[in-house]
């Protein structure tokens, strides 16, 4: 029997979602301050309206749904799914008012892309947007990378208990510290530490490249946010090519690979266990699949003969592959070059990298290296079982922060999520084909959206059919939530209709 949620249950969800909406609203103060400092009055007015609107919505939700009832396990995931949806709509206000979007849907697309750290975009005339608007793009992607619930937990929540469900709803399951609020704050400490170091290095590099100081600093901060959140947004339409600098490229690679590592791994390394970097199943899985796919891409690209020597081949091939594998979406080739120069073979390899993705409990998307590593271990365990005597007992172990035994429930869980991801990739690719695009381009763009990667082969433009844009928005949301929170929301809706 399905139990229908009571009005009190709805109130708990509404109240906590309201808190998270307020958190997103407060983030708008950063672009608002940027606009005011730089004298961009129109943009400042847009953000003033957005800030007021989101605080009003958040506050009204908290007043309307105020309850003493505590957040329980069944409320957490639904709250996260609703908060991400409503957060996307309130976050769209400044974009929609900016005049840089062809439609409200395009603006919603960019906010969802930013929050889910995807990096695909539909903004028009990107090279001439105001600094305030640019700041909002990067704040969205940086905040989305850490998790908007993590932000709310850091600044707006007290205590712990069932609040863990909110945290887990964003696809983060690792607790760095026994208290989930402390865990959220630890994630911010790690990210802010990297922000100071990474943005400083990028700013200095920008200055050396001849950029004006203010521009070098802003670009340094923005590129860091785009890289560490594995978001892929860049302040210029030419993305990383715009900088024409191998040093800038190399720094970005280090930052986005760091951003794609598990926060628990960062925490362990910070606390002196540097050996964890080499022992952890996720880093091993990432290094192995990246190496295999990079060599395969090098082979495919060498066959096409588009790059004259191995240095250029490595610089272009490795960069796109590592960007795809970490689901960042930064590129050092033009989008259409995937189709016109790389060809189907190298595109397929890039799709595989995007589909796998990087670490769990990081800013990255995709199936995740941990799951790929565990599936591989499970498969090898099965092979060992098959060739061993019947009386032998085979135990599969893996190392992730500590030595663990790979049990049946974990294997079933990772396989289920992997299969759902693969199904979603197929569905989104088919949607692109139905919209009239060639199969390899539809698959590339679809996997990019669903794995929150953001590399584009040039399919997505403001003139793309609205239905396909909608499918991509849904895929980005599902991929970032790793389905669970969205399925919980669907189950909640079903219980409202059919429950007793």
Partner 1 sequence: MRARTRSCARLVRPVQGLEAVNRLIQGMVAEALLVVGIAVAIASATLLVTLVTGL
- The residue range among 111-119, 271-279, 362-370, 382-390 that interacts with partner 1, by the rule CB under 8 A, is 271-279
* Smallest distance, partner 1 to C-beta of residue 159, A: 17
| 313 binds partner 1 per the rule CB under 8 A | yes
Please count the residues of the chain.
500
Helix (H, G, I), strand (E, B) or coil at 398: strand
Q: Which residues of 44-83 are buried (b: 16+ CB within 10 A; e: fewer)?
A: bebbbebbebbbebbeebbeebebeeebeebbbbbbbbbb
Reduce the DSSP state of residue 275 to 3 states and report it: coil
Residue 426 CB, nearest distance to partner 1 (Å)? 29
Q: Which residue in 64, 295, 467, 490 binds partner 1 (CB under 8 A)?
A: 295
For partner 1, the binding residue among 11, 75, 266, 480 (CB under 8 A) is: 266
Least distance to partner 1 from the beta carbon of 17, Å?
26
Interaction of residue 270 with partner 1, rule CB under 8 A: yes
Residues 6+ apart with CB under 8 A from 237: 126, 127
- For residues 378-412, one letter each, b for 16 or more C-beta atoms within 10 angstroms of the residue's C-beta and e for the rest, the string is beebeeeeeeeeeeeeeebebebbeeeebeeebbe
Residues binding partner 1: number (CB under 8 A): 45
Phi, psi of 328, rounded to the nearest 5 degrees: -80, -60
Note whether 153 binds partner 1 by CB under 8 A: no
72 binds partner 1 (CB under 8 A): no
Closest residue by Cα to residue 194 from 318, 363, 23: 363
User: Given candidates 60, 177, 439, 493, which one binds partner 1 under the rule CB under 8 A?
Assistant: 177
CA distance 180 to 186: 10
- Choose which of 52, 66, 104, 299 interacts with partner 1 (CB under 8 A): 299
Nearer residue to partner 1 within complex by CB, 140 or 264: 264
CB of 216 to partner 1, least distance (A): 21
Q: Which of residues 277 and 426 has its CB atom nearest to partner 1 in the complex?
A: 277
Residue 298 engages partner 1 in binding (rule: CB under 8 A): yes
Q: Which residues contact 317 (CB under 8 A, 6 or more apart)?
A: 294, 297, 298, 301, 307, 346
Nearest to 413 by CA among 467, 447, 374, 456: 374
Instruction: Give yes or no for residue 261 binding partner 1 (CB under 8 A).
Output: yes
Query: Can you tell me which of 283, 360, 452, 456 binds partner 1, judged by CB under 8 A?
Result: 283
Site membership for partner 1, residue 210 (CB under 8 A): no
The pair of structure tokens assigned to 452 is 């929150």
Using CB under 8 A, list all residues that contact partner 1: 175-178, 190, 193-194, 197, 253-254, 257-258, 261, 264, 266-272, 274, 277-278, 283, 287, 290-291, 294-295, 298-299, 302-303, 305, 307, 309-310, 313-314, 317-318, 322, 401-402
């Amino acid at each position: 029997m399905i139990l229908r949620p009571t009005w009190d249950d709805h109130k708990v969800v509404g109240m906590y979602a309201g808190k998270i909406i307020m958190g997103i609203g407060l983030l708008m103060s950063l672009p608002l301050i940027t606009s005011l400092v730089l004298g961009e009055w129109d943009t400042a007015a847009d953000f003033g309206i957005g800030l007021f609107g989101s605080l009003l919505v958040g506050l009204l939700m908290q007043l309307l749904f105020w309850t003493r009832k505590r957040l329980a396990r069944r409320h957490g995931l639904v709250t996260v799914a609703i908060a991400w949806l409503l957060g996307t709509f309130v976050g769209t206000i400044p974009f929609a008012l900016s005049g840089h979007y062809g439609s409200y849907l395009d603006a919603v697309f960019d906010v969802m892309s930013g929050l889910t750290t995807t990096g695909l975009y539909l903004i028009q005339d990107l090279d001439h947007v105001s600094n305030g608007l640019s700041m909002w793009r990067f704040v969205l992607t940086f905040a989305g990378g850490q998790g908007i619930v993590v932000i709310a937990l850091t600044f707006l929540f007290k205590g712990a208990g069932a609040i863990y469900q909110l945290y887990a709803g964003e696809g983060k399951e690792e607790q760095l510290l026994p208290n989930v609020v402390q865990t959220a704050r630890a994630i911010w400490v790690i990210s802010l530490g990297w922000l100071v170091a990474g943005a400083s290095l990028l700013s200095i590099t920008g200055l050396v490249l001849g950029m004006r100081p203010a521009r070098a600093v802003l670009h340094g901060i923005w590129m860091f946010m785009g890289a560490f959140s594995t978001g892929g947004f860049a302040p210029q339409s030419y993305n990383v090519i715009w900088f024409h600098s191998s040093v800038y490229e190399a720094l970005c690679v280090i930052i986005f690979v760091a951003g794609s590592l598990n926060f628990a791994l960062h925490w362990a390394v910070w606390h002196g266990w540097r050996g964890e970097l080499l022992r952890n199943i996720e880093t091993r899985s990432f290094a192995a699949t990246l190496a295999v796919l990079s060599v395969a891409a090098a082979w495919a690209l060498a066959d096409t003969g588009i790059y004259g020597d191995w240095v250029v081949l490595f610089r272009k091939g490795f960069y796109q592959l590592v960007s795809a594998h970490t689901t960042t979406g930064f590129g050092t080739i033009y989008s259409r070059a995937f189709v016109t120069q790389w060809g189907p073979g190298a595109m397929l390899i890039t799709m595989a990298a995007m589909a796998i993705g990087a670490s769990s409990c990081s800013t990255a998307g995709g199936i995740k290296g941990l799951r790929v590593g565990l599936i591989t271990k499970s498969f090898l365990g099965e092979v060992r079982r098959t060739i061993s005597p019947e009386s032998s007992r085979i135990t599969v172990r893996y190392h992730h922060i500590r030595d663990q035994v790979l049990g049946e429930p974990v294997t079933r869980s990772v396989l289920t999520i992997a299969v759902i991801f693969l199904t979603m990739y197929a569905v989104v690719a088919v949607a692109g084909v139905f919209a009239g695009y060639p199969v390899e381009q539809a698959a590339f763009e679809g996997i990019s959206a669903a794995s929150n990667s953001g590399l584009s082969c040039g399919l997505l433009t403001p003139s793309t059919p609205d239905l396909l844009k909608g499918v991509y928005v849904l895929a980005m949301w599902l991929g970032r939530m790793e389905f669970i929170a969205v399925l919980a929301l669907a189950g909640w809706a079903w219980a409202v209709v059919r429950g007793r």
